[in-house]
Amino acid sequence: MLSVITRILLTSTMSISTVLRMVLNVEQSIRAICNCVMVALAEFEAITTKALIPRVYPFKSIDIKEAVCPERLDVPPPPPSNIPKEALSVDKDTPDYHVPRDSRLIRLTGVHPFNSEAPLTELYNQGFLTSPELFYVRNHGPVPRVQEEDIPKWELRIEGLVENPLVLNFKQILQDFDQFTLPVTLVCAGNRRKEQNQVRKSKGFSWGPAGVSTALFTGPLMSEVIWKARPFRRAKYVCMEGADKLPNGFYGTSVKLNWVMDPNRGFMLAHKMNGEPLRPDHGRPLRAVVPGQIGGRSVKWLTKLILTESPSDNWYHIYDNRVLPTMISPEVASKDTKWWKDERYAIYDLNINSAAAYPQHGEVLSLSTSGPIYTAKGYAYSGGGRRITRVEVSLDKGASWNLTEINYPEDKYRDFESDLFGGRVDMHWRETCFCWCLWSLEIPVSNLEKSDAILVRAMDESMNIQPRDMYWSVLGMMNNPWFRISITNENGTLKFEHPTQPALMPGGWMEQVKKAGGNLTNGFWGETSEGKPLEEAPVKEINMKKDGLNNTIELEELRQHDSSEEPWFVVNGEVYDGTKFLEDHPGGAQSIISAAGRDASEEFLAIHSETAKAMMLDYHIGTLSKAAIEGLKDASQEEQGQCSGEVFLEPRSWKKAELCKKQIVSWDTRVFTFQLQHEEQTVGLPTGQHLMLKLKDPSAANKSLIRAYTPFSQTDRKATMELLVKIYAATNTTKGGQMTTALDGLQIGATVEFKGPIGKFRYLGRGKITLNEKEREVNSFRMICGGSGITPIFQVLRAVMQDPEDMLNCVVIDGNRMEEDILCRAELDAFAKMKAPQCTIVHSLTKATETWTGRRGRISKELLEEFASPSEGSMVLICGPESMEKSAKEILLALGWKEVDIVLF
Catalytic residues: 188, 320-321
Cα dihedral 899→901→904→905 (10° resolution) = 150
Task: Say whether 139 sits in a helix, a strand or coil.
Answer: coil
Residue 629's CB: how many other CB atoms inside 10 A? Answer: 15
Q: Which residues, 6+ apart, have CB-to-CB distance to 7 below 8 Å? A: none
The pairing of strands 669-675 and 720-726 is antiparallel
From residue 603, give the alpha-carbon distance in Å to each of 13, 267, 477, 756: 94, 55, 35, 12
Q: Please give the single-letter amino acid code of residue 122.
A: E
Across the strands, what pairs with 358? 377
Alpha helices in 551-600 (DSSP H): 555-559, 589-593
Distance CA 179, CA 176 (A): 9
Residue whose C-alpha is closest to residue 439's, from 462, 412, 415, 409: 409
Round to whole Å and give the CA distance between 654 and 754.
5
Sheet arrangement for strand 373-381:
353-358, 373-381, 437-444, 405-407
- Is residue 325 within 8 A of residue 340, CB to CB? The reply is no
**CA 727/CA 875 separation, integer angstroms:** 30
Whether 188 has a binding-site annotation, put simply, is yes
Instruction: Work out whether the CA dihedral 189, 195, 201, 207 comes out positive or negative.
Output: positive
The Cα–Cα gap between 358 and 37 comes to 55
Find out whether 503 and 496 touch, Cβ atoms under 8 Å: no
CA dist 503 to 88, 111, 199, 500, Å? 19, 12, 15, 9
Q: Using alpha carbons, select from 482, 549, 498, 462 the residue that is nearest to residue 208.
A: 498
Find the farthest-apart pair of alpha carbons in the chain and give their distance in angstroms, rounded: 117
Strands 855-856 and 839-845: parallel
d(CA 874, CA 879): 17
Which residues, listed in sequence order, are joined to residue 156 by a DSSP beta bridge? Answer: 168
Q: What are phi and psi of 271, to 5 degrees?
A: -125, -5
Q: Is 850 exposed, middle or buried (0-12, 13-18, 19+ CB in 10 A)?
A: exposed
- Backbone φ and ψ for 720, nearest 5 degrees, come out as -135, 165
The beta strand positions in 300-436, using DSSP E, are 302-308, 353-358, 364-366, 373-381, 388-394, 402-403, 405-407, 419-420, 423-424
Distance of CA 647 to the CA centre of its chain: 40
CA distance 238 to 4: 38
What does the alpha-carbon distance between residue 656 and residue 863 come to, in Å, rounded to a whole number? Answer: 43
Distances from the Cα of 786 to the Cαs of 395, 586, 587, 813, 880, in angstroms? Answer: 55, 19, 19, 8, 5
- If phi > 0 it is left, if psi is from -120 to 50 it is alpha, else beta; for residue 374 that is beta
Closest C-alpha to 740, from 756, 725, 759, 724: 725
Helix (H, G, I), strand (E, B) or coil at 75: coil
Query: Count of CB atoms within 10 A of residue 434's CB?
Result: 26
Sign of CA dihedral 559, 564, 569, 575: negative
Annotated binding site for Mo-molybdopterin: 188
